[in-house]
Structure 1
Amino acid sequence: MDEQGKELDPWQFKDGKSLELGCVPRFPLDAPGRPLDYCWAAFSIPVVHERVVQLFERLDVQEVQFLPVRVEGHDSPYFILNALRFIRCIDDARCRRVAYWTPEDEQPEKVGEYRVVSGLRIDPGKVGGAHIFRPWGWPVALIVSGDLKQAMEAEGITGTRFVEV
């Protein structure tokens, strides 16, 4: 939500574009327990603590934009992690299941795009030196390199969950 309580378009964080929000979004907190350094808001929007931003800056990770946010009940600085890179790298043959939107689905703007991806697998040969990105066609996934994963673990970043793809 913006400062007036109006909901922001959550899909804008899935476009891989640098954003100028014109406000500092506010997130209600609905999870009890201790604060995490990394968590997912609705629509797979990553929200991270300042510690994550500092780590990415030290590592000179360029593929992201950090947008300041307020998390209700917390004074610490938090940010939306806006991934700026998409890579066409999904390995359909190795995924458990993929399905595409078809004309029969009556959503012509989506025809040819992924409708389902389960058991996500990527072709590492298509990733190059990317440290963090979303796979083209399946923006709910956020993929990090092995080096970035190790750095986050070594830093003790809480709230992460890594699954090899």
Structure 2
Amino acid sequence: MRIPGRWVLGDPVDEQGQEIDPWQFREGRHLDLRGPLRFLQVHPGCALDFSIAGSAIPVVHGRVVSVFERLKLQQQVQFLPAQVEGESGPYFVLNVLRIIRCIDDARCEEVLYWKPEDGRPDKVGQYRNVAGLRIDPSLVGDAHIFRPWGWRVVLIVSDNLKQALEQEGLTGLKFTEV
């Protein structure tokens, strides 16, 4: 939202306009979806190469796909064809296939967990909030892009991938060291 005049994309729908479960894109698994996903512009504006649509779904232009292909990182992601209302360019949902347990609680600014008194027994012991995210890089291995276990609202990329994306001059990206 930091880019003035940028578009805002909603949650995905299928070719018939039926809503698609947006949470499945955070599960770190290969998805078998039929037909291209469609995204409406909730707020029309300037197209971006990298956008976060409703429910934290990464929507990327084909230029992003080219970077992953050049770096031979296709095994770490799945690119699902997508159509963005009013745009002809090739767009894709970036489905990240790795979830890694790597959050370094002690180095984060604040970590809150769901407790029994919060009234959500299904979430007790899970992260409720993570501020100032920090990870333990020794737990990442050879991953160049992943979501951290327990806090899948963010994407983490390696320095090599970050540099390649920046060199491509892609719009909509923002990096914060973790």
TM-score category (smaller protein): over 0.9
- Normalization by structure 2: what TM-score? 0.89
Equivalent residues in 2 for 1:87-98, closer than 5 Å:
87-98=100-111
Matches of 1:75 and 1:30 in 2, distance apart?
17
- Aligned sequence identity (%): 63
Equivalent residues in 2 for 1:70-149, closer than 5 Å:
70-149=83-162
What residue number does 2:17 align with? 5
Q: Indicate whether 1:46 and 2:58 are aligned.
A: yes
- Residue 30 of structure 1, CA deviation: 3.4
Aligned length: 165
After superposition, the CA RMSD in angstroms is 1.1
- Normalization by structure 1: what TM-score? 0.96
What residue number does 1:158 align with? 171
Query: Which ranges of structure 1 fall in alignment gaps of 5 or more residues?
Result: none
Structure 1 moving runs of 4+ over 6 Å = none
Q: Which amino acid aligns with 1:104?
A: E
Picking from 68, 71, 77, the partner of 1:56 is 68
- Residue 36 of structure 1, CA deviation: 1.2
